[in-house]
Amino acid sequence: MNDLIEVEKSLSELVSEAEIQHNLVVDLEKEAASASSSSSQDTNAAHLKSCRQCTESITQLMLKLDGVQISRDAAADALRAGDRERAKKLTVLLTRRKKLVKTLNETGARADDLLQQLEARS
């Protein structure tokens, strides 16, 4: 069960970091939308820099998530061995990981779109 505790801890940390990045992207989208295309070069450059940092952070989170080792086979093995508690915990963690992958992909796509828009303004 210690391995599951570590996986759960890692996923919790990644979820928190993903929420931070999501909120940053949303804030950047709002700022970019409110800034007109005639905004100062400094403002555009600042938004562009922040957006690049966000996309890099999201990529790093995805790489960290890839390092979280958990498999469906482990849940199936636990179930076959009669360890329902472990199988249930693994299934919950797998679901959490899947949701996190989806969130990071969606946030990354939004950040990439925003980056393209900001680069077009420059």
> Taking the complete model, does pTM exceed 0.85, yes or no?
yes
Instruction: List the chain pLDDT tens, one digit each, 122 residues.
Output: 678 999 999 999 999 999 999 999 999 999 888 876 556 778 888 889 999 999 999 999 999 999 998 888 998 999 999 999 999 999 999 999 999 999 999 999 999 999 999 898 77
> Alpha carbon of 74 to those of 81, 84, 97, 115: distances in Å?
10, 12, 14, 39
The Cβ-side half-sphere exposure at 116, using a 13 Å CA radius, reads 5
